[in-house]
């Protein structure tokens, strides 16, 4: 059989497997024959995984995962580091516009929120596939694993971890941190040049804007609905009024902002700012273990709670290595991989599995009171308005 015929046969087999998987089955009744076929096709494939690359801890974890996938399944796993997954969404849209419906350049993506909705709305995702993964049986179904920023996932993305927006401070230099956003503003005025946040549209910066808006508006009901011009101006006015005041006394006079969470942690460690920001409550432990923060640092959430969501893994509709991506996602949902990911000395990302399947510190991580994300349409509107007001 020549290469062209072999490739056609493999794609045909995978298409039949995917078609048969479209019927949702329970974790107890998944077809071993189908999964064995996926494993055979995955062996030797190269998976290009587009994911944020701004954390040394996460990058090292993915290097470990890549070695395990190679050793256990013969899958080559390449982490393509991106600063904003929206860039990957634009690439996929361009491939679709060009009629590239197979052999795509992206095999897996780390997404949630607005990026998921955009990819879903533009039919850029493969599936449904999630409930047929062998390791789906370990997932904690009490978590909102079937909804992403209020958007139904419909089996198009697999839950990977739980994120919460929290702050890190050093107890030696700041024993009594601000417990509300109004206290944060007062602290910034009392101690100018000591607080900041990442520059939107960087993920953590935009998350800060959303959390602040929810708090200032007492979670206005409009935030749970698609944004409208009529709602946006009135609902967001308290946010811009707050930031106008905050920036005057923020780090570097609000004229410059950290590039992301890693820079806020570095600035905290250098003593330039008093609060770092992260979407992982356990990030402080891995940063301490790697010598990036002192042992006197700790994470906390505002009294009102922490903006919370689940982050997911998905496969583009035209992925070149669909079988390899399925195997990679299934592995990343295994108790072994989730326990390592949740280890506070490695990454510390809270797991989506039932705790009975986890080992070590991953089984003991605590979560803060949860504050739900607004409708994903608010994200882009907030970013555009922020850039118009403060981006120059």
DSSP letters of 3-58? Answer: HHHHHHHHHHHHHHHHHHHTS---GGG--HHHHHHHHHHHTT-EEEEEEE---HHH
Closest Cα to residue 387, out of 108, 179, 200, 161? 200
Report pLDDT for 179. 97
CATH number of the domain at 164-308+371-390, out of 1.20.200.10, 1.10.287.3510, 3.40.50.800, 3.40.190.10? 3.40.190.10
Report pLDDT for 289. 83
Report pLDDT for 29. 36
How far is Cα 110 from Cα 108, in angstroms, rounded to an integer? 7
Residues 6+ apart with CB under 8 A from 167: 177, 275, 276, 277, 278, 299, 300, 301, 302
Domain assignments of the chain as residue spans, ordered by start: 3-161+311-362, 164-308+371-390
* Per-residue tens of pLDDT for the chain, all 392 residues: 333 333 333 344 444 444 444 333 233 334 678 899 999 999 999 999 999 998 888 999 999 999 999 999 999 999 999 988 999 999 999 999 999 999 999 999 999 988 999 999 999 999 999 999 999 999 999 888 998 988 899 999 999 999 999 999 999 999 999 999 999 999 999 999 999 999 999 999 999 999 999 999 999 999 999 999 989 999 999 999 999 999 999 999 999 999 999 999 999 999 999 999 999 888 898 888 889 999 999 999 999 999 988 999 999 999 999 999 999 999 999 999 999 999 988 998 999 999 999 999 898 877 788 888 999 899 999 999 999 999 97
Enter the pTM of the model.
0.76
Report pLDDT for 73. 98
Closest Cα to residue 361, out of 374, 350, 375? 350
Tokens of 43: 């062996």
Report pLDDT for 312. 98
**Same fold? 3-161+311-362, 164-308+371-390:** yes
CATH of domain 3-161+311-362: 3.40.190.10
By three-state DSSP, how is residue 313 classified? strand
Closest Cα to residue 48, out of 89, 71, 76, 21? 76
């Amino acid at each position: 059989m020549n290469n062209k015929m072999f490739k056609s046969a493999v794609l045909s087999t995978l298409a039949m497997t995917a078609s048969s998987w479209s019927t949702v089955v329970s974790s107890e009744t998944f077809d071993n024959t189908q999964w064995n076929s996926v494993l055979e096709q995955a062996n030797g494939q190269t998976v290009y995984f587009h994911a944020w690359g701004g954390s040394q801890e996460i990058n090292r974890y993915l290097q470990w995962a890549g070695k395990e996938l190679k050793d256990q399944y013969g899958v080559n796993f390449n982490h393509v580091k991106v600063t904003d997954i929206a860039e990957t969404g634009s690439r996929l849209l361009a491939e679709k516009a060009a009629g590239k419906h197979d052999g795509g350049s992206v095999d897996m993506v780390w997404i949630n929120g607005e990026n998921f909705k955009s990819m879903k709305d533009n039919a850029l995702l493969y599936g449904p596939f999630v409930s047929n993964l062998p390791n789906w049986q370990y997932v904690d179904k009490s978590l909102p694993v079937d909804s992403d920023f209020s958007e139904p996932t419909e089996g198009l993305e697999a839950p990977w971890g739980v994120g919460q927006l929290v702050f890190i401070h050093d107890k030696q230099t700041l024993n009594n941190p601000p417990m509300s956003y109004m206290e944060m503003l007062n602290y910034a005025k009392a101690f100018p040049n000591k607080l900041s946040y990442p520059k939107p549209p960087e993920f953590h910066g935009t998350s800060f804007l959303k959390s602040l808006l929810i708090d200032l508006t007492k979670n206005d009901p409009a935030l749970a609905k698609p944004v409208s011009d009529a709602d946006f101006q009135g609902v967001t006015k308290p946010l811009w009024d707050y930031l106008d005041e905050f920036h005057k006394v923020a780090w570097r006079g609000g004229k410059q902002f950290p590039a992301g969470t890693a820079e806020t942690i570095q600035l905290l460690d250098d003593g330039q700012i008093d609060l770092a920001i992260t979407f992982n409550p356990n990030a402080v432990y891995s940063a301490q273990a790697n010598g990036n923060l002192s042992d006197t640092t700790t994470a906390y959430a505002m009294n009102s709670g922490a903006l919370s969501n689940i982050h997911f893994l998905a496969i583009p509709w035209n992925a070149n290595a669909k079988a390899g991506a399925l195997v990679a996602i299934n592995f990343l949902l295994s108790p072994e991989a989730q326990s390592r990911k949740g280890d506070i000395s490695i990454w510390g990302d809270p797991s989506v599995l039932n705790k009975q399947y986890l080992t070590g510190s991953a089984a003991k991580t605590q979560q803060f009171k949860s504050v739900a994300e607004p409708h994903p349409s608010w994200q882009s509107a907030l970013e555009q308005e922020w850039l118009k007001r403060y981006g120059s």
